[in-house]
């Protein structure tokens, strides 16, 4: 199975609600290597939230695989490979990330495998993201939107079904401020 995770950060909200410069914040959330990269970057604010988004997406990917929830952001170490690609290492696991960022948000998708996996994703309004995902899923699988049902796993990850048939191999939905995002893989039998 190719597990995926995603995260989205509303940059305006992050700017007003989170003071990443407060004493102890960087030390609690980021490794020394990451702190050095943040403090030496052209835009430390964006680097903080890019790394946070990468960590969250990798964490969601990990929890889908191992069915275990915990809080340990400093144990997930980010490495930027290029402007929009990176890797996050946690213990012996490496997750590969792809991020989209603009003046409004940062959105990151993490996956276990470096090779290309077909991932469907979208960004929208929090109130509409479930419907947006169902519409995209219905179009890919060629079923009716009305028949698609969302269920959560024991760790809270969403899975989507159609007439008791599992449609998504892995799915992740994120919300923050004015934005929401989803990413999913579909079962290849459809």
Q: Give the tens place of pLDDT for each residue, 87-123.
A: 999 999 999 999 999 999 999 999 987 666 678 899 9
pLDDT for 93: 94
- pLDDT for residue 187 is more than 70: no
pLDDT for 190: 46
The pTM is what?
0.92
- C-alpha–C-alpha distance, residues 83 and 104, integer Å: 17
pLDDT for 117: 63
What confidence category does residue 185 fall into, taking pLDDT thresholds of 50, 70 and 90? confident
- C-alpha–C-alpha distance, residues 43 and 54, integer Å: 17
pLDDT tens-place string over residues 40-72? 999 999 999 999 999 999 999 999 988 888 888
pLDDT tens-place string over residues 124-158? 999 999 999 999 999 988 999 999 999 999 888 99
pLDDT for 144: 93
pLDDT for 169: 87
């Amino acid at each position: 199975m190719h597990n995926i995770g995603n995260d989205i950060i509303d940059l305006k909200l992050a700017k007003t609600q989170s003071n990443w410069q407060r004493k102890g914040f960087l030390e609690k959330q980021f490794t020394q290597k990451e702190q050095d990269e943040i403090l030496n970057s052209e835009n430390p604010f964006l680097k903080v939230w890019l790394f946070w988004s990468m960590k969250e997406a990798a964490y969601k990917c990990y929890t889908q695989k191992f069915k275990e929830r915990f809080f340990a952001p400093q144990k997930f170490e980010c490495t930027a490979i290029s402007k929009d690609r990176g890797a996050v290492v946690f213990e012996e696991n490496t997750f590969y990330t792809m991020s989209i960022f603009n003046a409004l948000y940062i959105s990151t998708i993490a996956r276990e495998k470096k090779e290309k996996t077909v991932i469907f994703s979208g960004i929208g309004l929090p109130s509409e993201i479930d419907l947006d995902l169902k519409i995209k899923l219905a179009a890919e699988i060629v079923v009716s939107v009305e028949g698609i049902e969302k269920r959560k796993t024991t760790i809270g990850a969403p899975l989507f079904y159609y007439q008791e048939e599992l449609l998504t191999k892995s799915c992740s939905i994120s919300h923050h401020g004015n934005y929401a995002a989803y990413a999913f893989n579909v079962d290849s039998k459809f």
